[in-house]
Amino acid sequence: VSATTILVADDQADLRRIVRILLTRGTSWEVVEAVDGDDAVAVAAQHDIDAAVLDQRMPGRNGIDVADVLRGRGFGGPIVIFSAYLEPEILAEAERLGVRSVPKGEIALLTEVLRAALFPDET
Amino acid sequence: MAGERRVTGPRRVVTQLVLVTSVVGLLTGALGLGVVRQLERSTSLATSGDAALASAERTASVVDGRVGALLAQLELFATRGELAAFGDEAAAELAVALRVTDELDELTLYDSSGRPVAAAPDPPPDAAEPLAPVAPDGPDGARARLDVDGDAPTLVLTAPIESPAGTRVGVLVARAAIAPVVDEVTLPASDDGRVALVAPDGTTVADGDRQRVIDGYRQPLDALPSQRPVARVDGADGPALLAAAPLTTLDAVVVVEVSEAAIDGADGAALRGPAGVLLAVVLAIVLAVIATGRRLLRPLGPLADGVRRLTAGERGVRVDEAGIGEVADLARGFNHMAAALELRQRDLEAAERGARLNEERLRLVVEGVEGYAIVLLDVLGDVRTWNAGAARVTGRGAEELVGRRLTDLAAADEPITDPVPAATRAGRGEAEGWFVRPDGSRFWGELTVTALRRDDGAVSGYAAILQDVTERRAARHALEEALLREQQAAAELRHANVLKDEFLAVAAHEIRTPLAAILGSANVLAPGPFALDPAEAEEIRRIIWHHANDMHGIVERLLDVTELQAGRVRIEPRAIALRETLAQVVRASAHDLADREVALDVDAGEVVVDPRLLAHVAGNLVANAAKFSPPDAGVRVTAHVAGELLELTVTDEGPGIAPEDHERIFELFRQSSQTEPSARGMGLGLTIVRRYVELVGGEVTVESALGEGATFTVRLPLGPPAAQSVPSSGGRGTTVG
């Protein structure tokens, strides 16, 4: 059984660092990082990821675009988008793709959200 | 005297009228008299002619009766049988016949051969001349003829002898003196004139006056017309009326001759009556004309006098309206006319007084107007009149300008188009421009020229109004400028509003990133089952410090921009040690510089400059250089005094700036188009630098090419700066607040 692998895409290095610390503290999860949307698509192809955490605002592809590509590839795992606020049409698109959103200020929720999505039986 | 002559005019005309009428009347009367007399005479002549003709015809019928009776007598004799025997008994029979009648003088019987057979009274038949042989079937009945060959004219009667009846075997010829036959007829006719028996050739055969017969007087029968044989002829005793009537029994004519003297003498008395009446009528007419003329003339005198007085300008002239017919009408008409004239004259005088008053008022107004030059131009457009306003506005007197053109007063370097041609074409022409006064001062003049036209439309001159509108123009320009400024301010406000929105967007975005990092860090630091190891804790602390510093810098710059925009930055120059100040700035930029080296090269001691301004400018330039430089690249800062300027340069080893971006990078919220997305900031730093520099009249420039780094050079004026007019030099800064 391989370790749970999570893709973290954000153009801000410090945020990637913080998210990594949050997601790996007390878990056996592994984090792979991407510096923007295009990098996220590439990194996702290289790793067998179980979940994706995407910043909505990134140079190149934004979070929803990356989610769209991943779903297009048949990725069915949980996807979480960091965004304080999603425009209605992006929200609709997010629902269509089964993407959840978490505000950046509530970054501590990220671990719980992912855990609930990945392991619904472990409550 | 002229008036007198005029007065005598009508009178003389009336007198002449009376005279002419009289003369014409007299002439007409005389002519009428003559015509009447002529008519009367013609009438009397005609009447006398008719009478004469009737008399002639009556006499002719009487003579015919006598001759007819003789012929009947002779025919009776011719039927005697004894005669047809041509024997002795025939002679006896002739003698008996001659005794029976006392009207026949001689009877001769001829046989068929024309040989006289018997005669009475008793001369030998041989004495008688033979006749032409008698044709057995000659004309029927007895015939008569005149024989004028002898001393006395005789009547010759012939009757055929027939045996048996119808066959002529001889002729019985009788002779008779004319006189006994005619005298009875001619004598009584003497009252109506002469009656005469006349042979066809005009020879008088019988007449009351035997002398004519003897003289063989020939009546002028040729003068008689055949239709109505009456005519005026020159008779034996002078002009006479001749009428003729032919006889049926005899080849002769009865003539009645009436002398004209006799006719006139008889009609004279009758003719004097109508002529006298005519004369009297003419005289009456002449008298009536004279009387009428006098009646006409009498009232005309006062009328003429009234006309003369009216002409002389006298008021209230009225004439007596008494008089007859048209003269009274004339007098009434004259009075009405005089009244109307007086009324009209009063109106005219009133109007004239009004017009004079208006003209005088207008003249006073025009002369008194000082704000405007009101000038009349002649038909050529040259000045004719000059009012006080003209003198005041132009500073020149009438003597200088009359005869010249108003546009001559224009400033020599800015000639004014003469509006007179435009006024000629369109009725009105306008021009404006600088006019010069004799003292050299200028005024901006508005010149309006209006064409003045006669009734027939031809231009008779122009009215020109020149007004000094220098102040008005200045006010207008000031207004326009103010409006322009308002518009600019409004545009700036709109721009500022756009910038504000952009500013807020940029600020929100810029702040969100460090804020998110700080928030995330705070989440990581929250108490929980899993403790951070010391390295992680230091890492988190560093992240918080770094992003808080970012936020601090952002807030500082936003405040700077806000203060610059609001013009609230106070410039307080003072003497500072340049090197120490710049070293302090570099130290304060440690966060931005990270671990980069800064080479500081200062070649100046104390300078007088606003230290806060210098710190902002140098700090922003250093931060900018560090931001766009690789982590291991150095930043070089130099400063030296060049004349009155402090020259500060900051050089980096970054990617450089394309020439087309050299200006753009100083604009608010703008960055080089080559800036990496990850390196993008708010675009405030260089804007703040430029605003500060320009605030004190300095400048900031950049030298750079892609791939060769960049050098920013700032030149700030040294020494105590002049009084600061903070808002205006900012350029983009708004003055409100």
Alpha-carbon distance of A66 to A40, in angstroms, equals 7
Alpha-carbon distance of A65 to A38, in angstroms, equals 10
* pLDDT for res B12: 64
Ranking A32-41, A89-98, A101-110 by mean pLDDT, the lowest is: A101-110
Position B734 pLDDT exceeds 70: no
- The residue type at B345: Q
Position B14 pLDDT exceeds 80: no
| B512 close to A (CB below 8 A) | yes
Position A51 pLDDT exceeds 90: yes
The residue in chain B having the minimum alpha-carbon distance to the alpha carbon of residue A82 is B516
- Picking from A108, A94, A79, A70, the residue whose alpha carbon sits closest to that of residue A6 is A79
How big is the CA angle at B391 (ends B390 and B392), to the nearest 5 degrees? 95
**Beta carbons within 10 angstroms of residue B307's beta carbon:** 20
Alpha-carbon distance of B19 to B471, in angstroms, equals 89
> Mean per-residue pLDDT for B221-247?
83
Alpha-carbon distance of A81 to A113, in angstroms, equals 11
CB A13, CB A46: distance < 8 Å: no
pLDDT single digits (tens) B333-364: 888 888 888 888 888 888 888 888 887 877 77
Exposed, middle or buried by CB within 10 Å (0-12, 13-18, 19+), for B306?
buried
Burial B450-487 (b: 16+ CB within 10 A, else e): bbeeeeeeebebbbbbbbbeeeeeeeeeeeeeeeeeee
Burial B413-441 (b: 16+ CB within 10 A, else e): eeebebbbebbeeeeebebbbbbbeeeee
Mean pLDDT (chain B, rounded):
80
Position B725 pLDDT exceeds 50: no
Sheet (strand B204-207) strand order: B204-207, B194-198, B253-259, B238-246, B230-235
Position B382 pLDDT exceeds 80: yes
Going by pLDDT thresholds of 50, 70 and 90, the confidence category of residue B4 is very low
Which residues in B lie closer than 8 A to residue A104 (C-beta atoms)? Answer: 512, 516, 519-520
| B549 close to A (CB below 8 A) | no
* pLDDT for res A7: 95
* pLDDT for res A34: 93
Supply the angle between the helices B534-566 and B611-627 in degrees, to the nearest 10.
130
* pLDDT for res B507: 76
Is A59 in contact with B513 (Cβ distance < 8 A)? no
The larger pLDDT score, comparing residue A47 to residue B78, is at: A47
Going by pLDDT thresholds of 50, 70 and 90, the confidence category of residue B728 is very low
Pairing of strands B645-652, B238-246: unpaired
- Provide the number of CB pairs (under 8 Å) joining chain A to chain B: 54
> Mean per-residue pLDDT for B24-33?
78
- The residue type at B284: A
> Mean per-residue pLDDT for B629-636?
86
CB A28, CB B543: distance < 8 Å: no
CB B242, CB B224: distance < 8 Å: yes
- Picking from B635, B544, B535, the residue whose alpha carbon sits closest to that of residue B592 is B635
Both tokens assigned to B442: 């200028």
* pLDDT for res B565: 74
Question: Which residues are CB-neighbours of B500 under 8 A, at least 6 positions away?
Answer: none
> Mean per-residue pLDDT for B439-450?
91
Which residues in A lie closer than 8 A to residue B680 (C-beta atoms)? Answer: none
Going by pLDDT thresholds of 50, 70 and 90, the confidence category of residue A67 is very high
Both tokens assigned to B6: 């005029």
- The residue type at B121: P
* pLDDT for res B220: 84
Is A22 in contact with B520 (Cβ distance < 8 A)? yes
DSSP state of B203: B
> Mean per-residue pLDDT for A26-52?
92
* pLDDT for res B730: 37
Position B681 pLDDT exceeds 80: no
Pairing of strands A5-9, A51-55: parallel
* pLDDT for res B139: 67
Which residues in B lie closer than 8 A to residue A14 (C-beta atoms)? Answer: 517, 520, 543, 546-547
Ranking A83-87, B287-291, B383-387, B630-634 by mean pLDDT, the lowest is: A83-87
Supply the DSSP string of B308-349, one letter for each residue: HHHHTT-SS------SSHHHHHHHHHHHHHHHHHHHHHHHHH
pLDDT single digits (tens) B472-499: 889 999 999 999 999 999 988 888 788 7
Position B272 pLDDT exceeds 60: no
For residue A48, the number of C-alpha atoms closer than 13 Å in the C-beta half-sphere is: 4
* pLDDT for res B557: 78
Is B524 in contact with A14 (Cβ distance < 8 A)? no
CB B221, CB B198: distance < 8 Å: yes
Alpha-carbon distance of A29 to B132, in angstroms, equals 211
ω before B121 within 30° of 0 (cis)?
yes
- The residue type at A47: H
* pLDDT for res B724: 42
Position B126 pLDDT exceeds 80: no
